[in-house]
Amino acid sequence: MGFEINFDTKIQIQIENCNFKEITIQFLFVLRSIFESYVSKILDHYFTTYYESGELAQILKVKKVLKKSDKNKTKFKTIFGVIRVPQIQVRVVDFQGKKYQMTITRQLLGVSRKFQIPDFMKEIIGWIGSVTTYRVGLEIIKVLTNFKCSLMSLWNSVQFSAPKIRLNLSDIGTNEFEADGTGIPTKGTGKRGSELKKVFQRKTDGKLQLIGLSIGKYKDIENWNIALKAPIVEGLMKFKTVVLASDGDLSITGTAKKISEYVKIQKDKWHVFYQMKYYLWLDKVVKEVKNEVISSFYKLTMLSKSSIEERTNFIKEYINSLKNKGYKHTATYLESAIDGFYTHESEGNKNVYTSQTERSMRTTNQRINVGVWSETGAFNVAKIRLSHYYNDINPLSWKNVI
């Protein structure tokens, strides 16, 4: 039911002029003191209520609670500035009969131990540090809040926020998944860096949702298992079968097949046409002929109205013609690309698989390519950033009135 707070006080604000900036600054100073009193009253009310009802012992998970002191102050950093509220100390008796002292101010307010910044604000600060650089984010925080925030506090907020994000299937998702990896610069991993492994789910509106993420060495099966296992298991429970699109990387397809035989592999066609450019270059094909070869293959595979079996036979004939022309690299690559080329059609899915996941690489790199990271730091920033853009994780949701 809550309780009503009454402020029987007069506010005195000394203003030097009629400038709107001056008026705003002076009012913010007053808000800090009002908010400090407001939080103190609420804290005292609920402590007293919980203590007198006996509920406090249950909250603290002890046998008995004895009052001790609230004369000291606990410091918190809030959007209105730094406030100091009563530091509530109690003596408790645990279920083994041991007595000890506890400070419970943070526990009552739902603030993590040793932190001065409330948890919901750490989530907002972590989001800011993930959608822009840390130094730019720090300047934004100075504008939006009225307390000093260090780079380390911003970094800690990112590490605090990322593990709280759960990557689940979408309520409007389909059984079509996409998986791909992107290289990012990380410390101690040489020139190549590490690979960020991403798994997305296509939704009925055509958009993607991030459902799996891990980081580690390139083509590392263990890390692909971390990214793929939970989404595939959850997807199979919901859809019975899962269609997984990838560029054909065996570490992806092999891992998926080990997780379950009911995973259907789909070749990501965007990668096929993109990779053809490279293999035609290896075959020393000139640009004009190269474009013609790719265009012909596109028309044959994507625009033809023939059956899957007929198109597959056409592809085999086309590959033989490439061999006869001496394009051995391109022909060998296309032979490996045939498997899973039309899985989406045989499974009754509507998407054509011109990679949307590839676009997410740019979203990641816009933030990552500003320095060298630890794997943990890069993973946490990418998780928050991608969850914001693809999973609608909105740091402003705390403002919603229930």
- Write the pLDDT tens digit of every residue in 208-252: 999 999 999 988 899 999 999 999 999 999 999 999 998 888 899
Please check whether residues 208 and 154 belong to one and the same domain: no
User: pLDDT: is 341 or 278 the higher one?
Assistant: 278
Report whether pLDDT(331) > 80: yes
Report yes or no on 249 lying in a domain. yes
Report yes or no on 364 lying in a domain. no
Report yes or no on 401 lying in a domain. no
Cβ-proximal residues to 55 (8 Å cutoff; 6+ apart), any chain: 49
Please check whether residues 379 and 288 belong to one and the same domain: no
CA-nearest of 398, 348, 394, 315 to 130 is 394
Please check whether residues 77 and 153 belong to one and the same domain: no
Report whether pLDDT(162) > 50: yes
Rounded Cα distance, 299 and 249, in Å: 25
Please check whether residues 106 and 176 belong to one and the same domain: no
Q: What is the pTM of this model?
A: 0.85
Please check whether residues 244 and 275 belong to one and the same domain: no
Please check whether residues 3 and 82 belong to one and the same domain: yes
The residue from 96, 112, 128 where one domain ends is 112
Rounded Cα distance, 210 and 221, in Å: 19
Please check whether residues 225 and 171 belong to one and the same domain: yes
The reported pLDDT for the residue numbered 402 is 44
Contact between 256 and 245 (Cβ < 8 Å):
no
Please check whether residues 220 and 339 belong to one and the same domain: no
Report yes or no on 362 lying in a domain. no
Please check whether residues 183 and 235 belong to one and the same domain: yes
Q: DSSP states of 111-174 as a string?
A: --TT-SS-HHHHHHHHHHHHHS-HHHHHHHHHHH-SS---HHHHHHHHHHHGGG------TTEE
Q: How many CB atoms lie within 10 A of CB 295?
A: 11
Tell me what the pLDDT averaged over the chain comes to.
89
Report yes or no on 276 lying in a domain. yes
> Of 32-41, 250-259, 272-281, 339-348, which range is least confident?
339-348
Report yes or no on 129 lying in a domain. yes
Please check whether residues 324 and 346 belong to one and the same domain: yes
Q: Which domain holds residue 101?
A: 1-112
Please check whether residues 377 and 233 belong to one and the same domain: yes
Report yes or no on 298 lying in a domain. yes
| Count of domains forming the chain | 4
**pLDDT confidence tier of residue 1, bands split at 50, 70 and 90:** low
> Of 74-78, 126-130, 173-177, 395-399, which range is least confident?
395-399
